[in-house]
Every structure is written in structure tokens, then in C-alpha cells.
């Protein structure tokens, strides 16, 4: 297991523009770099590399993350193998930790939350763009001067007004009830029944510096 301090050093040394440029032709636009997304077919560039934040984001398909995330997806590698590869290129030695069952449990729990948030963001975003039930939400955004381009850029979504619809989707996705509760996406009522925390409202995903949806 690789400690977080080492991972942070590797990310600092990796320089995401250099990493991505091995796979994608980038051109500078302002402070960022743009190119055609390697994760889906597109003719107009919607793939942005932010050098200051050291992350990437595709506003077409929603993929995003750090240099580690990018290499994992491009090379179909696991996390540890990707970190080792980037460390080798950067000349950084890795000292791996001894396996800790409690720490592994904590990391798995965090991963489950990240997966739930990412899937929920995609679900809410798709509803806002496509669902007839979200017509009022789309009209509200338009009335405030925000159109489809803004919604796609920031992956804005809409939570359905029915707990049943949200919970049915979550179960199809295999997200456990406890993960929904721990993530803040659902709560339990006084009688123990599960219900969606957010209903009939616009949803704004919050990402960390690595492009992971954390809330």
C-alpha cells in the first residue's frame, strides 16, 4: 500500500499536461489546454486539462480526474500499478506500507461513497437533460440565464420528485442502502423506511482537486 504523501509527490511531479500529451493532441486555450476526448467520439473538443489544478475534465462524457486517473483509464491499469509507473518516470522511490485491515476497510468505504456520488451525478444530470419531468427545472435555469451548455459544463442535475424512482435506480446500480445513507443521498424515516434526501430540486456535484465527486 502506498501512502498518501508519496502519491501527492508523484502527482506534483507528473505534470498532467505532459502525461495527457502522450495520448492526446492538446492546444493551449487561455490558462488551460483543450483536445478531443480519448474516452468518447467527438468532433468538437470538450476535453479540458487544467494545469494549475493538475486535473482533466471532459464536458462531453463527464470523465475527469488526476494524472493517475487518466493513465488508469488509458492503459487499463490498477491504481497501484499506475502510481508505480508514474513514480518511475518521475524518479520517485516508493516505500509501500504493510497491509492494515482497518485502513483497507476505511479506504473501501471511501471508494464506495465516491462511486455512489459519481453514479448519482450522472443519473441526475441525465434526468435534467432528457426527462420530461425536469421541464420545469430546465425552464428555471433558462430564466436565470443558464442554458444547456452551462448545465453540461458543470454536470448540473435534477433529482426526481419521487423517492421510489431514485431508490429503484440505486438498486439497479447495486448501491447498498447504507452507502446511500452514509453518502447523504438518502435517509431513514421514523419507521425505518428509506427515502431520497433530495427530491424535485437542482443538483450541483462538488468535486475535489482530483476530479472526484465527493458530494
Sign of torsion over alpha carbons 188, 170, 208, 46: negative
Q: Which residues of the chain have pLDDT under 50?
A: none
How high is the pLDDT of residue 188?
A: 93
Helix locations, the chain, DSSP H = 4-14, 16-21, 67-75, 79-90, 101-130, 135-143, 148-153, 163-172, 177-183
Q: Is the separation of the CB atoms in 183 and 113 below 8 Å?
A: yes
This prediction has a pTM of 0.57
How high is the pLDDT of residue 8?
A: 86
How high is the pLDDT of residue 36?
A: 95
How high is the pLDDT of residue 98?
A: 63
How high is the pLDDT of residue 200?
A: 95
How high is the pLDDT of residue 88?
A: 85
How high is the pLDDT of residue 19?
A: 92
Q: Quick one: how far is CA 76 from the chain centroid?
A: 17
How high is the pLDDT of residue 56?
A: 94
How high is the pLDDT of residue 55?
A: 92
CB count within 10 Å of CB 25 equals 11
Amino acid at each position: 500500500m502506498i501512502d498518501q504523501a508519496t502519491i501527492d509527490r508523484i502527482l506534483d511531479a507528473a505534470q498532467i499536461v505532459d502525461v495527457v500529451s502522450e495520448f492526446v493532441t492538446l492546444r493551449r486555450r487561455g490558462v488551460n489546454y483543450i483536445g478531443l476526448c480519448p474516452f468518447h467520439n467527438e468532433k468538437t473538443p470538450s476535453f479540458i486539462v487544467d494545469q494549475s489544478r493538475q486535473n482533466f475534465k471532459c464536458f462531453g462524457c463527464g470523465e475527469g480526474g488526476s494524472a493517475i486517473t487518466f493513465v488508469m483509464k488509458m492503459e487499463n491499469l490498477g491504481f497501484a500499478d499506475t502510481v508505480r509507473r508514474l513514480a518511475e518516470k518521475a524518479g520517485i522511490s516508493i516505500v509501500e506500507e504493510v497491509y492494515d485491515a482497518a485502513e483497507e476497510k476505511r479506504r473501501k468505504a471511501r471508494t464506495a461513497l465516491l462511486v455512489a456520488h459519481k453514479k448519482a451525478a450522472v443519473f441526475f444530470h441525465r434526468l435534467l437533460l432528457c426527462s420530461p419531468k425536469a421541464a420545469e427545472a430546465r425552464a428555471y435555469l433558462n430564466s436565470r440565464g443558464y442554458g444547456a451548455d452551462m448545465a453540461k459544463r458543470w454536470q448540473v442535475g435534477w433529482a426526481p420528485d419521487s423517492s421510489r424512482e431514485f431508490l429503484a435506480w440505486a438498486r439497479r446500480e447495486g448501491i447498498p442502502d447504507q452507502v446511500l445513507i452514509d453518502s447523504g443521498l438518502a435517509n431513514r424515516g421514523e419507521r425505518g423506511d428509506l427515502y431520497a434526501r433530495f427530491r424535485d430540486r437542482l443538483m450541483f456535484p462538488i468535486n475535489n482537486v482530483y476530479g472526484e465527486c465527493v458530494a
